[in-house]
Structure 1
Amino acid sequence: MRASRFFISTLKEAPSDAEIVSHKLMMRAGMIKRLGSGIYTYMPLGLRVIRKVEGIIREEMNKAGAIELLMPLVQPAELWQETGRWDKMGPELLRLKDRHGRDFALQPTSEEVVTDVVRTEVKSYRQLPLNFYHIQTKFRDERRPRFGLMRGREFTMKDAYSFDRDVEGMQKSYETMFNAYVSIFNRFGLKFRAVAADNGAIGGTGSHEFHVIASTGEDALVYCPNSDFAANMEAAEALPLIAQRGAATQPLTKVSTPKTTKCEDVAKLLGIGLDQTVKSIALTVEKDVDGRQVRENWLLLLRGDHELNEVKVTKVPGLKDFRFASEAEIQEAYGTVPGYLGPIGTKQPVNIVADRTVANMADFVCGANEADYHLTGANWGRDVAEPVVADLRNVVEGDASPDGKGTLAIERGIEVGHVFQLGTAYSAAMNCVYLDEKGQPAPMQMGCYGIGVTRILGAAIEQNFDDKGIIWPDAIAPFELVLCPMGYDRSDLVKLETDRLYAELQAAGVDVIVDDRGLRPGAMFADWELVGVPHRVVIGERGLKEGNLEYQGRRDAEATAVPAADMLGFIKGKLGK
């Protein structure tokens, strides 16, 4: 490839709406162009990266036994209605009608469509297992699209779906896909971590997320440096920090705490540690009982220095569809304003759920259910009935690892892949069955496996950049190597050596581009450092007269002189070819 015949359009400054590093650098490097909110044109440089990402994914998926097909972007509502997701997906599912008034969805994922394919094509256990995948455009109508390709509305995703006879088979397929993902991310050349995760709205029984490690990542990843334990914050189990509850040593006392609604302020006012306070979070659950709406009051209790994990709350029996109580509901149930809530002396019956650590606390401080007052010396059993106990909080660094092999550490990551054990969540709803050896019908056991193809670009940049621009890993760079001739249009010696080396590199399978645009060295180097090509060779008359060319890796502080005759072998060694 010659730069004069390619399209390169770099900018000195990023557009004002670009918020994070990857968004700014992709815009400046001319890799994407904004068309609308959360919708981008992939420019030639960006598309080359996407195609390399897709190529690695295809090779590893095919190697793992998955079969590629291509499912449509526009999907009929009837399939989504079969599983109930037509209503459950909410406004992120973009709905549209055709000229006949029939409902369709612009797909964010393809569980329904692939299940429909398999239920019509597969009848016997002899046809299983199967694993279909495709790489396709997706659309999710994000409320607030931002961060370029990291959270756009239109994006490219690889999604795969396995079908098995039984749970054991599904777990084997899941393991195969998990290992394929490890190979894929290793080949990308990115530092990543696979963590246990919650299945969320997609359903199923177990899952792992794949995160690219980056200090700018939105997600907190919890892991034990001494073991294999790793989970995202939503799924990381928090063990009790108090092994056993102590005996009550203080009387229950109501104390004045005027205009003091936060645990931090209460602790300061009373001269105690924040870890002696308990925060109360009021929830409401509405149920339909015999055709009428019934409202239940729930109160969650956490230690004052801990944070609520809302995903864990949904796992508590009875709280799957919770919402936070309104101020009016709080006044009605507790007889006070928010900031002074507690489990003792509520106005109406309340279901009390205590985090594991709170359940083992004695002589704790909580709200008195009266404005400007708190209770000290509160104790379970003596002052209030024993609560329901559940894991409600986010873990913190230094907590004991659930596997008992050390303490937990936390780092930031960007989710770019997710694998799920779906079980029969979709096959049962859509009657996707096979006939077993005895001729009896049984629902297929499913798994699904996604990778955000275009999101990989943003995540890779968030992990690999400096003040000059992007630093692509070799495997997914738009070009592996750029040749930068000094005076290509003015020096026959430079032109001859550049063309010779270019031909040799191409014949050796190196993805190389020659910058023959006639730019000054500073401007030329700045462009390729911004674009992030990982390897650069400079060809100049002065060096050639000494028999040398200059090599510089994108992360190298200085260039290295390499004999011109040895440069091909040198580059092949750098690229592992």
Structure 2
Amino acid sequence: MRASRFFISTLKEAPSDAEIVSHQLMMRAGMIKRLGSGIYTYMPMGLKIIRKVEAIVREEMNQSGAVELLMPLIQPAELWQETGRWDKMGAELLRIKDRHGREFAFQPTAEEVITDVVRSEIKSYRQLPLNFYHIQTKFRDERRPRFGLMRGREFTMKDAYSFDRDLAGMQASYQIMYDAYVRIFNRFGLKFRAVAADNGAIGGTGSHEFHVIASTGEDALVYCPTSDYAANMEAAEALALNATRPAAAQALSKPATPGATKCEQVAEQLGLPLSQTVKTLALTVENEQDGKVTKQYFMLLLRGDHELNEVKVGKVAGLSAHRFSTEQEILEVYGCVPGYLGPINTKLPVTVVADRTVANMADFVCGANEEGYHYTGANWGRDCAEPQIVADLRNVVEGDASPDGKGVLAIERGIEVGHVFQLGTAYSAAMKATFLDENGKPAPLQMGCYGIGVTRILGAAIEQNFDDKGIIWPTAIAPFELVLCPMGMDRSDAVREAAEQLYAQATAAGIDVILDDRGQRPGQMFADWELIGVPHRVVIGDRGLKEGNLEYQGRRDTEASVVPVAEILAFIQGKMAQ
């Protein structure tokens, strides 16, 4: 490709609405152009990268045995109503009506559609296993689109769906996809980590997220450096910090703590460590039966220096539909205002749910259910009943023991770019997608689903690979692998001939090369390609040619290397292979 025949449009400054590095650099490099909130036009430079990402994904999916099809962007509401997700998805599901008043959705994902396809096509166990995938536009009506392609409303995604006859088959298909994802992200040239995750709105029984490691990542990734344990923060298991509960050593006391509604304030007033305090969170669960609504009240207890993990709370028996109690409910149940709640002498009965660490605490500090007072020296069994439920409620912290017993936990930041799910029969049962087994009896299909955010890869790759000059693309997904920068090509026959010859050689060797024949000044030319992030650059100038040399510089190199003209192609190929 010649630069004069390609569209290159760079900016010195990023638009004011570009919030994070990847958004700023993609806008400045002319890779995307904003059309509306969370909606972008992919300009030629950006589209080239997307096509390279898609090509790697497609090759590995095909190699894994998946079969490509293409499902529509617009999906009928009836399919989503079969699974209950028409209501469950909420406002993120963009809904429209056609001229006949029929309801449709812009697909954010395609579980319902692919299940509908398969239930009409698969009749016998002999047709299984099967894995379909497509690369298609998705739309999710984000409440607050931001960060460019990282959290836009319209995006491109590869999603795949496996169908098997039994659980073992589904798990085998899942492993095939997991392994394919590892190969895909390795080929991208990105540092990544696969972590155990919560299934969320997709449903199912087990899943892993694939994260590109970046200090700017939204997600906290928990892992053990001395073992294979890894999970996202939502799914990471927090063990009790005390293996057993110590014996009580203090008498119960009720000191005044005026204005101390937070554990930090209580600890400061009493001169005690924050880790000795216990904080209370009041929850309400509403149940409806025969048109009558009843309420259940739950008290969650965490150590004062720990953070609540709401995903874990939702998995506690009876708390899947919880909400935080209102101030009026707190007054009715506990007899005091928020900030002074505790498990000793509540006004009305509540179900006490203690975090594992709290359940093994002794002589702890808690609210006295009286404004301006807390208890010290509180102990289970002696001063209050044992908690009815003990559960993992908190976020892990760095240095916690690894759940596998093989070390301690560390935390790093990541950007989610892929997710694989073991769905089981969550969708096939709801949509009556069955097959006839060996005995001629109908059985539900066992499903898995597997997604990669194709356009999100661009933002994540940049967040991991940039400097003060611009983007640093891994070679495999760079818009161009090599740029040739001739100095004064329009004024020097020697430079022009050498540039054309190397351009032809590189093209013949299968290198994705661009020749900058725009006639720009060296400073502007170099600034453009450093901003765009082409990983390999060769400068061709009269002075070097007189000595039989060219200058090579990798995007991460601090200095250029002088290479003989006769050796330059082999030199470049060697660098690209590293």
- State the TM-score bracket (shorter-chain normalisation): over 0.9
Instruction: Quote the residue 1:430 is aligned against.
Output: 431
Residues 55-74 of structure 1 mapped to structure 2, 5 A cutoff: 55-74=55-74
Instruction: Quote the residue 2:523 is aligned against.
Output: 522
Give the C-alpha shift of residue 167 in structure 1. 0.1
Amino acid at match of 1:301: L
Amino acid at match of 1:176: I
Give the C-alpha shift of residue 552 in structure 1. 0.1
Instruction: Quote the residue 1:378 is aligned against.
Output: 378
Q: Secondary structure at the match of 2:24?
A: helix
- 1:177-208 Cα shifts (integer Å, max 9, x gaps): 00000000000000000000000111000000
Give the C-alpha shift of residue 290 in structure 1. 2.8
Task: After superposing the two structures, state which structure 1 stretch, 240-249 or 70-79, moved more.
Answer: 240-249
Whether 1:342 aligns to 2:342 is yes
Cα distance in structure 2, aligned partners of 1:153 and 1:360: 46
Whether 1:479 aligns to 2:488 is no
Q: Secondary structure at the match of 2:354?
A: strand
Cα distance in structure 1, aligned partners of 2:332 and 2:15: 50
Instruction: Quote the residue 1:198 is aligned against.
Output: 198
Whether 1:22 aligns to 2:22 is yes
What TM-score do the two structures reach when normalised by structure 2? 0.99
Instruction: Quote the residue 1:135 is aligned against.
Output: 135
Cα distance in structure 2, aligned partners of 1:349 and 1:40: 54
Cα distance in structure 1, aligned partners of 2:394 and 2:102: 45
Residues 147-226 of structure 1 mapped to structure 2, 5 A cutoff: 147-226=147-226
Give the C-alpha shift of residue 289 in structure 1. 2.5
Cα distance in structure 1, aligned partners of 2:15 and 2:371: 50
Q: Secondary structure at the match of 1:489?
A: coil
Cα distance in structure 2, aligned partners of 1:35 and 1:45: 17
Cα distance in structure 2, aligned partners of 1:347 and 1:141: 44
Task: After superposing the two structures, state which structure 1 stretch, 378-387 or 58-67, moved more.
Answer: 378-387
Cα distance in structure 1, aligned partners of 2:434 and 2:289: 34
Residues 249-398 of structure 1 mapped to structure 2, 5 A cutoff: 249-387=249-387, 388-398=389-399
**Unmatched 5+ stretches in structure 2:** none
Residues 38-57 of structure 1 mapped to structure 2, 5 A cutoff: 38-57=38-57
Amino acid at match of 1:515: D
Cα distance in structure 1, aligned partners of 2:332 and 2:546: 89
Task: After superposing the two structures, state which structure 1 stretch, 413-422 or 266-275, moved more.
Answer: 266-275
Instruction: Quote the residue 1:235 is aligned against.
Output: 235
Structure 1 runs (4+) greater than 6 angstroms displaced: none
**Unmatched 5+ stretches in structure 1:** none
Q: Secondary structure at the match of 2:255?
A: strand
Cα distance in structure 2, aligned partners of 1:59 and 1:324: 48
Instruction: Quote the residue 2:552 is aligned against.
Output: 551
Cα distance in structure 2, aligned partners of 1:7 and 1:107: 32
Cα distance in structure 1, aligned partners of 2:348 and 2:200: 32
Instruction: Quote the residue 2:86 is aligned against.
Output: 86
Instruction: Quote the residue 1:439 is aligned against.
Output: 440
Q: Secondary structure at the match of 2:417?
A: strand
Q: Secondary structure at the match of 2:186?
A: helix
Cα distance in structure 2, aligned partners of 1:33 and 1:332: 55
Whether 1:469 aligns to 2:470 is yes
Give the C-alpha shift of residue 295 in structure 1. 1.2
Cα distance in structure 2, aligned partners of 1:147 and 1:331: 42
- 1:502-558 Cα shifts (integer Å, max 9, x gaps): 001000000000000000000000000000000000000000000000000000000
- 1:119-178 Cα shifts (integer Å, max 9, x gaps): 001101000000000000000000000000000000000000000000000000000000
Q: Secondary structure at the match of 2:269?
A: helix
Evaluate the alpha carbon distance shift between residue 53 and residue 226 of structure 1 in structure 2; reply closer, same or farther with a 3 A threshold. Answer: same
Whether 1:488 aligns to 2:525 is no
Instruction: Quote the residue 1:6 is aligned against.
Output: 6
Instruction: Quote the residue 2:245 is aligned against.
Output: 245
Cα distance in structure 2, aligned partners of 1:550 and 1:326: 69
Give the C-alpha shift of residue 328 in structure 1. 1.6
- 1:475-508 Cα shifts (integer Å, max 9, x gaps): 0000000000001111111000000000010000
- 1:83-107 Cα shifts (integer Å, max 9, x gaps): 0000000000000000000000000
Amino acid at match of 2:283: L
Cα distance in structure 1, aligned partners of 2:401 and 2:247: 24
Amino acid at match of 2:558: A
Amino acid at match of 1:260: A
Give the C-alpha shift of residue 268 in structure 1. 1.1
Cα distance in structure 2, aligned partners of 1:9 and 1:331: 62
- 1:69-90 Cα shifts (integer Å, max 9, x gaps): 0000000000000000000000
Cα distance in structure 2, aligned partners of 1:146 and 1:356: 37
Amino acid at match of 2:415: I
Amino acid at match of 1:329: E
Give the C-alpha shift of residue 324 in structure 1. 1.1
Q: Secondary structure at the match of 2:117?
A: helix
Cα distance in structure 2, aligned partners of 1:539 and 1:559: 12
Q: Secondary structure at the match of 1:253?
A: coil
Amino acid at match of 1:493: A
Cα distance in structure 2, aligned partners of 1:576 and 1:415: 27
Cα distance in structure 2, aligned partners of 1:30 and 1:348: 63
Amino acid at match of 2:29: A
Cα distance in structure 2, aligned partners of 1:66 and 1:36: 35
Instruction: Quote the residue 2:419 is aligned against.
Output: 418
Cα distance in structure 2, aligned partners of 1:492 and 1:24: 39
Give the C-alpha shift of residue 23 in structure 1. 0.3
Give the C-alpha shift of residue 299 in structure 1. 0.8
RMSD: 0.7
Whether 1:503 aligns to 2:537 is no
Cα distance in structure 2, aligned partners of 1:68 and 1:226: 39
Cα distance in structure 2, aligned partners of 1:29 and 1:336: 58
Amino acid at match of 1:250: Q
Amino acid at match of 2:142: E
- 1:381-403 Cα shifts (integer Å, max 9, x gaps): 11111111000000000000000
Task: After superposing the two structures, state which structure 1 stretch, 240-249 or 156-165, moved more.
Answer: 240-249
Cα distance in structure 1, aligned partners of 2:3 and 2:376: 74
Q: Secondary structure at the match of 2:149?
A: helix
Instruction: Quote the residue 1:458 is aligned against.
Output: 459
Give the C-alpha shift of residue 329 in structure 1. 1.5
